């Protein structure tokens, strides 16, 4: 990764050139003209402030200040004292006077002037040298003061930042550490002193974070700290997530490392990702529902059409031949009509009940009734519709009264008996239903000797609209077993299917009989 560089949108360095301030020069500006003759080639400017206030305002940028003091009573004598009170003024304050008396000159000098010169020596070679020496020193002091100002400004910027900063010099030793950084690593703060090598900084931080050399995060962190380049993220055991960014300072002066708390951002990122997954799951479910609906319409339209065609065909025959149709033939055709109607009604109930169950709008209604009588009744109904099949029962051990949902049990047993009849051929059709109570669990077992289900397909038999490969040519919609499975689970029970191709299928139901006598939502 290419290392970043610090680029300020604002030029922090002041562009003002050093000033030579001359206050109190006569109207003929003799002193000013003389100074001008001394400074060709120097990047300075000369100023003649008209008032002490103007002088005080510009003194902060002055390399040398000349003040003309005519005698020891001149009010300009107090200017040196005033300038000495202004923080940051680094210029020598020089008194220029015509006074010859030594006592008066000492009095002027003692008013906090740095030097005092007589007007008569201005044009001497020695004064020229002294002036240039003081000018160079003043310019150097101004430059140093400017760097200090910039450093203080830099520290000020860092102190108000929400991030934690640590600045390394070009030798990768600590130059500056922000208060935020010290607060972020309180146990290691004593090691964060100017001149500390970056390796020791890393070791101190790693120890405080509890990251040992055998930790997977250790190497990545070490690479970042040693190179001081790029970005590095890590998560503390406390859940705090931090991002460190190394930025090279201009001119190869060093590197600034910022540490940002991105915990909230990461949490929002995870929440957004989870929300996106939820939307993707919802979209997938919607697409699946749409596909299922198309499949359902295609399949059920065919299944409804067949029994209705049987009903209509037999009804037309009876209508046309009502006068000469033998009684037995009429009974047979009426039975066929009843069977087709029953098949249509069962299919509609299965579909409607399944949809109710999927939307969570179907509730359990536990009541006391005779399960033994209900099973007997359902077996007789199936026997009337399939007289060629033998339906045997073993339910005598059941108690007279049990607490269950009658509607659910009716739908479940009806579907399972209808499946057993449908998938058992007329060659040797035998269906057996057994039921017994074991503690608080009702077990119902329905066994047939039909076509069976391939072992590799048993795991899919409860999928909506799935039909086994052995059901080819046998009418059906694939809704029945899916409905039965949903109903059994709504009743807090279990269902198990064992089957072998060509030998038949056994379905075992287990339902609790100790549920409270009240309505229970299937979503509970």
Q: Rounded to 5, what percent of the chain is helix, strand, coil?
A: 50, 20, 30
Q: Which two tokens stand for residue 513?
A: 């009989």
CA nearest to 93, candidates 44, 143, 129, 52: 52
Provide the whole-model pTM: 0.41
How does residue 321 score in pLDDT terms, banded at 50, 70 and 90? confident
Mean pLDDT is lowest, of 77-91, 167-181, 188-202, 289-303, for: 289-303
Q: Where are the beta strands (DSSP E) in 237-374?
A: 241-248, 254-261, 363-369
> How many CA atoms are closer than 13 Å to the CA of 400, on its beta-carbon side?
0
Which tens digits make up the pLDDT trace of 125-143?
888 889 999 999 999 999 8
Contacts with 191 (C-beta within 8 Å, 6 or more apart), sequence order: 200, 201, 204
Please give the order of strands across the beta sheet that includes 441-448: 390-394, 430-438, 441-448, 504-512, 494-500
pLDDT of residue 6: 43
The yes-or-no verdict on residue 332 having pLDDT over 70 is: yes
How does residue 18 score in pLDDT terms, banded at 50, 70 and 90? very high
Which tens digits make up the pLDDT trace of 44-87?
999 999 999 999 999 999 999 999 998 888 899 999 999 999 98
Strand 519-521 and strand 494-500: pairing?
A: unpaired
- For the chain, report the end-to-end CA distance as a whole number of angstroms: 54
Mean pLDDT is lowest, of 99-103, 122-126, 299-303, 439-443, for: 299-303
Q: What percent of the chain has pLDDT over 90?
A: 22
Q: What domains, with CATH codes, occur in the chain?
A: 19-157 (3.40.50.2300), 161-261 (3.30.450.20), 351-521 (3.30.565.10)
The yes-or-no verdict on residue 304 having pLDDT over 90 is: no
The yes-or-no verdict on residue 500 having pLDDT over 80 is: yes
Contacts with 61 (C-beta within 8 Å, 6 or more apart), sequence order: 14, 16, 18, 19, 142
Mean of pLDDT values over 470-495: 77
Contacts with 434 (C-beta within 8 Å, 6 or more apart), sequence order: 393, 394, 395, 444, 445, 447
The yes-or-no verdict on residue 524 having pLDDT over 70 is: no
pLDDT of residue 508: 94
The yes-or-no verdict on residue 99 having pLDDT over 90 is: no
Q: Which two tokens stand for residue 165?
A: 């900063």
Which residues share a beta bridge with 262?
A: none
Q: Which contacts qualify for 97-102: CB closer than 8 Å, 24 or more apart?
A: 97/68, 97/69, 97/70, 97/71, 98/70, 99/69, 99/70, 99/71, 99/72
Which tens digits make up the pLDDT trace of 228-267?
888 888 777 777 788 888 888 887 888 988 888 888 888 8
pLDDT of residue 399: 92
Task: Say if CB 383 and CB 391 are below 8 A apart.
Answer: yes
In angstroms, the CA 177 to CA 169 distance is 12
């Amino acid at each position: 990764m290419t290392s970043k560089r610090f680029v300020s949108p604002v030029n922090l360095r002041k562009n003002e050139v050093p000033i030579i301030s001359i206050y109190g020069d006569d109207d003929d500006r003799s002193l000013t003209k003389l100074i001008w003759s001394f400074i060709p080639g120097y990047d300075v400017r000369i100023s003649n402030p008209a008032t002490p206030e103007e002088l005080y305002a510009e003194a902060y940028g002055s390399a040398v200040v000349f003040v003309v003091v005519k005698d020891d009573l001149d009010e300009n004598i107090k200017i040196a004292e005033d300038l000495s009170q202004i923080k940051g003024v680094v210029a020598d304050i020089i008194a220029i006077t015509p006074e010859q008396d030594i006592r008066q000159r000492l009095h002027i000098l003692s008013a906090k002037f740095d030097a005092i010169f007589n007007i008569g020596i201005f044009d001497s070679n020695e004064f020229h040298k002294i002036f240039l020496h003081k000018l160079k020193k003043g310019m150097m002091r101004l430059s140093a003061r400017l760097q200090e100002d910039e450093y203080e400004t830099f520290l000020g910027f860092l102190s108000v930042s929400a991030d934690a900063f640590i600045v390394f010099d070009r030798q990768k030793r600590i130059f500056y550490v922000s208060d935020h950084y010290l607060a972020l690593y309180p146990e290691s703060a004593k090691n964060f002193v100017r001149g500390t090598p970056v390796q020791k900084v890393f070791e101190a931080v790693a120890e405080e974070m509890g990251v040992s050399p055998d930790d997977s995060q250790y190497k990545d962190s070490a690479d970042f700290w040693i190179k001081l380049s790029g970005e590095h993220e890590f998560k503390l055991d406390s859940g705090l997530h931090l991002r460190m960014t190394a930025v090279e300072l201009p001119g190869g002066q060093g590197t600034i490392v910022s540490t940002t708390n991105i915990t909230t951002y990461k949490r929002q990122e995870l929440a957004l990702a989870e929300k996106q997954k939820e939307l993707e799951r919802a979209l997938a479910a919607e697409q699946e529902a749409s596909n299922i609906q198309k499949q359902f319409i295609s399949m059920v339209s065919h299944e409804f059409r067949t029994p209705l065609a049987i009903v209509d065909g037999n009804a037309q025959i009876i209508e046309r031949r009502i006068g000469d149709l033998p009684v037995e033939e009429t009974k047979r055709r009426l039975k066929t009509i009843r069977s087709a109607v029953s098949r249509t009604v069962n299919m509609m109930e299965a579909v409607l009940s399944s949809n109710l169950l999927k939307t969570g709008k179907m509730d359990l209604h536990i009541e006391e009734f005779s399960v033994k009588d209900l099973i007997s009744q359902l077996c007789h109904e199936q026997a009337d519709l399939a007289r060629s099949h033998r339906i045997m029962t073993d339910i005598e051990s059941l108690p007279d009264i049990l607490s269950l949902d009658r509607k659910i049990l009716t739908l479940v047993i009806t579907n399972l008996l209808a499946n057993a009849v449908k998938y058992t051929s007329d060659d040797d059709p035998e269906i057996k239903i057994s039921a017994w109570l074991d503690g608080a669990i009702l077990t119902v077992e329905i066994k047939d000797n039909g076509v069976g289900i391939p072992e590799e397909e048993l795991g899919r038999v409860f999928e909506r609209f799935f039909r086994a490969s052995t059901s080819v040519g046998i009418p059906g919609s694939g809704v029945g077993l899916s409905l039965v499975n949903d109903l059994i689970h709504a009743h807090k029970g279990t269902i198990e299917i064992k089957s072998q191709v060509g030998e038949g299928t056994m379905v075992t139901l287990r339902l609790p009989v100790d549920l409270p006598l009240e309505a229970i939502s299937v979503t509970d």
